[in-house]
Amino acid sequence: MNIVLTVVLFVAGLGLIIYFAEKLVESTVRLSLNFGISTFIISVIFIGFDPENLMVGAAGSYESVGGIALGSIIGASMVAIALAFGITAIVSPMKFEKVPKQIIVIPILSILLFGLLCLDRELSRVDGFILLLGFIISVYYLIRLNKKGIDIKAHGEVEESLEEARELSKWKSIGLFTISLLAIIVGSELLVDSSKTIISASKISDTLFGMTILAFLVSIEELARELPAAMKGKSEISYGNVAGSILAFFLFNAGIIALIKPIEISPIILKFYLPFCLFTTIIISALLLRKEISRWAGALLVVLYIIFILYGYL
């Protein structure tokens, strides 16, 4: 494939994914409201949920490009929890009135479960079922915490989606959902197919490409979600994006991706990328126990992301 055409298809696929991902969230929220699902449950499910990452990972799994599939999980998580959260803290340091330990532990346990299932060097369909079960249990646990009076605030994206969604009729929501889903599927296929050509031409591994370049491009919008909330003094929403991203990526997305086709886990995933992501999550949890994320802490997170990116190129 001509390199110019490859780049055009890559950009076109990326554009379709990013634009219609927001529309998919909006229409799904509206449909959920029409079926009587509570706002709180919608908020929990959509905290950190990124359909663009799910579709890219699913396409990567279907095309047997494991590096892209795993990059949509681990690499994308690092963009959300290290780069975006770190830059947010540098621009607008965050303080928390209370930090429920029950919520902090969920992201760590999610990564640990994912890691344990990867130890045999394959993420099988059985592992996918286990991860999805873990996601359901985690959501149920969060709902129980909410009923006990522990405040869990909605993701900013969900709040905005709810406002926009109320303006859509049921049939318009169904139409928007269908069009958005199809557009994201087409965009994901274009992105993965063109990525395979770029990987071949650039002589880098699919794991390195998926973990760094592709994960960054697909997930950089995380910054647009976290920064405005922190600047408005809604630090809980910014952290909700971090916790929700890990929950969605490592349990829900990974579960769906594994069900489509088992994924082979390369040694570098277990040796560096996954442990480093877990280490970063533990650092964030430790910082949260201090009830603030200062500028120096934000700078530390950005440095951790840079190390994550540069490791495979050194």
pLDDT tens readout for residues 99-120:
667 777 888 999 999 999 999 9
| CA atoms within 13 A of residue 120's CA, in its CB half-sphere | 9
By three-state DSSP, how is residue 64 classified? coil
Q: Is 137 exposed, middle or buried (0-12, 13-18, 19+ CB in 10 A)?
A: exposed
Q: Which domain holds residue 178?
A: 3-311
Total-model pTM: 0.77
Please say if the pLDDT value at position 216 is more than 50.
Answer: yes
CB 39 within 8 A of CB 166: no
Q: How far apart are the first and last CA of the chain?
A: 29
Higher-confidence position of 66 and 97? 66
Higher-confidence position of 53 and 68? 68
Angle between helices 3-34 and 156-165 (to 10 degrees): 70
Give the pLDDT confidence score for residue 95 in this predicted structure.
Answer: 77
Give the pLDDT confidence score for residue 155 in this predicted structure.
Answer: 42
**How many domains does the structure of the chain reveal?**
1
**pLDDT (tens digit per residue) in 28-53:** 666 666 665 554 455 555 555 567 77
Strand partners, 96: none
- Biggest alpha carbon–alpha carbon distance for the chain: 59
Please say if the pLDDT value at position 240 is more than 50.
Answer: yes
Instruction: Report the CATH number that the domain containing residue 98 is assigned in CATH.
Output: 1.20.1420.30
CA distance 54 to 71: 11
Q: What is the pLDDT confidence band of residue 259, given thresholds at 50, 70 and 90?
A: very high
